[in-house]
Amino acid sequence: MIISPPFLSLNDIPVYDGLCVRNVMPGGIVGSGAYPISQAMGWHGGLHIHAPTSMEPVRAIADGTVVFRRDGGNARYDNEDHSTGCVVIRHVTEIGAHGATPVAVTYYSITQHLRQLDHDLPAVGRAIYRKDRLGLAGTIHGESDRIHLEIIAGDADTLKLVGRSTGELMVGGNGRTDAVYGQVYVLVPAKSPCFNSQPTGASLPTAAGDSGNDDLIVGIRYEAGNATLTTYKLNGDTIGTAPQETDAEYNLYTEANARHGRLSAADQLISSPSGWYELLRFGRNLGTDPLPANAAHWRKVVVPSQSGGAWINLNASNTKKFSDADFPHWARWKLIDDDVTDENSRCDSAMANAMLTSPPRPGATTILTPAQKAADRMQNLCKSDVQEKLAKTICKFPTEWAKDEVRKRWAWTRETGNPCMPYPLEDETDFTEMADFAQKLCFWEELPAEDKSRLTTRHWHFHPREFIKHFRMCGWLSEPEFKQLLPQFVMRLDRNRVLLWEPIRLNGDRNTTIANHRTPLNHALRKWGVDTPLRRATFFGNSVQETQWWALLAEGSGSTLWYAPWYGRGFLQLTNPGNYIDYWRYRGRTVPEPLRVSLVAAYQAVTAMPPAQRSNSGLRDANFPALTAQMREWRAHVGADTTGRPPSPEDVLAPSDSACYYWAKNRMSAEADATHTLEHVSIQTDHGTKAYYRSRTFWRASATVNLPGAVNRTNYTGINGFDARCIAYGYALAVLTEMRFPNAAGNSALNFPETNVPRI
């Protein structure tokens, strides 16, 4: 899932963090308070957002299909103007996978109160893409430059999005594994043993005490190379944060090796550094690489009973593991599912009302009037902690956009004594005027039948800002999103030194690569920490070009190469027998050291020769009798070489896993996390002047895995096809980030790389 806010006005920020999303989505909260006080806090299913400027375009938050559009107009009610332009988009995407089966989800965005629709807005039934213009913000209650944004989903999709359909997260077992992203959480039971120093041997030192009388939640956040461990109560209150583990994320590869290496020789046979890597990253081993059942995950955390923190085994048998994908209640998420009987448009939920109602004062006997109850609700609503709780509620109630049901939905506005409406619309004329106005904003009856069936009129409402912030952590790429990463046109230098500008087509080989390897590559990107937009743009900038634009996972000329038969690169440059063996060992496979030494020596001997004299005679398998048939099969897996045999699970896993392993081993995240300052480069091709984009950061990261000695070069020479890689890099930035691209004059004014076009 790739998602972004409806306004992208922060032109100098390539990737929006949570604060950026909040800054471009100012406005009221979902539910009580979205309308002015005079309308007494009736429930509203979306967020009212103030556009940054009157001409800032409202944009699609994600790829999808337009299922309803209404041109801008005006409706007047209670002497206030309201723009009536509206766009409804069906978004179909993925957030993870059950094994090889993607978790496909559908949700809808509703953008109301547009004063005009964009002239390029697609027709109903046509595709629309993230960042495409919808139109311009209009008027709400007489206030200009406002929109109403709503995000909704039906029962089945909400179950997949959230992982449950009721209340709070159940903590009797581990959390979901089909979707894992964001912060990792470990539930540490009460009275868990604590230690003053990290235990390293088989026998434990004397315990310093225990974790206290209450269950604790330890959150592990890896970000910008560091690790932050925060301890919470089950209700979400923060107990404390341990000192930041500097570079812990960048060092996961070496730390996993170290923890594996501290095991006894016998235990190493049932272990692997790869398994340890997953334990450190996710709090559990989600993959198939071996890890001892009793592997201890020692981390120093804050506990109430131990001043200065203590070491706790986060993988003890009674701990439970989760992630942000579980929408845990200690992160304030709650599903409001107790408003299931009435047909009004208000969330009549005891759980929601409890957040807005002050507890009775001791000894108080006075019964509050409706106006006093409304004032109390408004006072509580203004509290930041209440707003945070309400923003994390996911509520199920009927749509307010069904024209045929408007009077039923809004009948509650006539009820005397309702704390949400202290001054009800007692006069039929007043109610009819309000109902007639509401009908001018409706569209439910005009939606396609499949969407009305999928949603039903009673569906789940998400706080739009929190939904966007949350799912920006997900990063799982759907098939259409993957295809957008493949450039439409690329450059190639032919044998006559002419620079060609060539189209790249989604042909059979490329479609097969995407179909067979998209899910395992998503898994590998998640596992090995290639999990931010800039890291992924850097990865795909190299990978898409190295695989000949996803046509091949091994070198095309194969056995004729001087480094054959070690030419199956996978999705990233693994070529080199030493790299293969290091990868196998990291996964827990045994390779004799003398074999590794002899293969590396043979490879180095060939690289020392002048290029014209290089031959693969010294690297042929016949020269290495210790190279077993199983090892040759492992090698074939990396390049997905299934000649003469049906594909195995390893043929699907290894090309992706080995590539992201190689990324982690070479600490490419540390390079990719640096500032990406784009340079516009004009080139002369057989099709005229074209352009691409490069950055020092992309050069350094590319050199790290291709030509380490060139990392500090400033002339961008030495890496094979670097300029072509930059084409893929620019495409990935456009698809994955909020980056603005400089034009030839150096002004960051473009939403897409100049002289190229999106693949849509």
Kindly tell me the burial class for residue 421, based on how many C-beta atoms sit within 10 Å of its own C-beta (0-12, 13-18, 19 or more): buried
Q: What b/e string do you get for 539-555 counting C-beta neighbours within 10 Å, with b at 16 or more?
A: bbbbbbbbbebbebbbb
Residue 266: CB atoms within 10 A of its CB come to 8
What is the sign of the dihedral through the CA atoms of 694, 697, 700 and 704?
A: negative
> 37: pLDDT confidence band, cut at 50, 70 and 90?
very low
334-336 vs 393-398, strand pairing mode: parallel
pLDDT grade, residue 29 (50/70/90)? very low
Q: Is the pLDDT of residue 201 over 80?
A: no
DSSP per-residue letters across 33-97? TSS-GGGTT---SSEEEE-SSTTPEEE-SSSEEEEEEE---EEEETTEEEE-EEEEEEEEEEEEE
Range among 87-96, 358-367, 568-577 rated most confident: 87-96
Alpha-carbon distance 131 to 145, whole Å? 19
Cα–Cα distance, 539 to 537 (Å, whole number): 5
Kindly report the average pLDDT of the chain as a whole number.
91
365 — pLDDT class (breaks 50, 70, 90): low
The pTM for the full model equals: 0.94
Express each pLDDT in 123-157 by its tens digit.
Answer: 999 999 999 999 999 999 999 999 999 999 999 99
Q: In which element (H, E) is residue 128 found?
A: strand 127-128
* Distance of alpha carbon 110 from alpha carbon 193, whole angstroms: 51
User: What is the pLDDT at residue 32?
Assistant: 33
Question: Closest Cα to residue 349, out of 335, 370, 368?
Answer: 335
Domains contained in the chain, CATH given: 18-165+333-471 (2.70.70.10), 184-329 (no CATH), 554-639 (no CATH)
Strand partners, 691: 682
pLDDT confidence of 80, banded at 50, 70, 90? Answer: very high
Among 349-358, 457-466, 696-705, 729-738, the minimum mean pLDDT is found in 349-358
Non-local (6+) Cβ contacts of 473 within 8 A are 181, 182, 324
pLDDT per position as a tens digit, 225-264: 999 999 999 999 999 999 999 999 999 999 999 999 999 8
Beta pairing, strands 80-83 & 143-153: unpaired
Confidence of residue 44 (pLDDT cuts 50, 70, 90): low
What average pLDDT score do residues 531-538 get?
Answer: 98
Residue 412's pLDDT band, with cuts at 50, 70 and 90, is: confident
Q: Counting Cβ atoms within 10 Å, is residue 479 exposed (0-12), middle (13-18) or buried (19+)? A: middle
Give the pLDDT of residue 418.
67
What pLDDT was estimated at residue 450?
Answer: 97
Highest mean pLDDT among 175-189, 194-208, 375-389, 740-754: 175-189
The angle, 0 to 180 degrees and rounded to 10, between the axes of the packed helices 577-586 and 593-607 is 150
> 169, 480 in Cβ contact below 8 A?
no
| Packing angle of the helix pair 722-736, 696-706 (nearest 10 deg) | 120
Q: Which of 133, 193, 170 is nearest to 7 (CA)?
A: 133
> Cβ of 113: how many Cβ atoms within 10 Å?
25
Q: What is the pLDDT of residue 558?
A: 75
Unique residue bearing structure tokens 């020092």: 696
Residues 6+ apart with CB under 8 A from 436: none
Query: How confident is residue 39, by pLDDT bands cut at 50, 70 and 90?
Result: very low
- Does position 43 have pLDDT exceeding 60, yes or no? no
Residue 374 confidence (pLDDT): 66
Q: Give the HSE-up count for residue 250: Cα atoms under 13 Å, Cβ half-sphere.
A: 15
Whether the predicted pLDDT of 54 surpasses 60? yes
Find out whether 214 and 233 touch, Cβ atoms under 8 Å: yes
Task: Tell me the pLDDT tens digit for each residue of 690-714.
Answer: 999 999 999 999 999 889 999 999 9
* Inter-residue contact 641 to 648 (CB < 8 Å): no
Confidence of residue 30 (pLDDT cuts 50, 70, 90): very low
Alpha helices in 283-383 (DSSP H): 350-356, 370-381
- For range 24-33, the mean pLDDT: 57
In tens, the pLDDT along 158-182 reads: 999 999 988 899 999 999 999 999 9
Highest mean pLDDT among 59-68, 165-174, 612-621: 59-68
The rounded distance, in Å, linking the Cα atoms of 38 and 180 is 44
Confidence of residue 677 (pLDDT cuts 50, 70, 90): very high
CA distance 453 to 450: 5
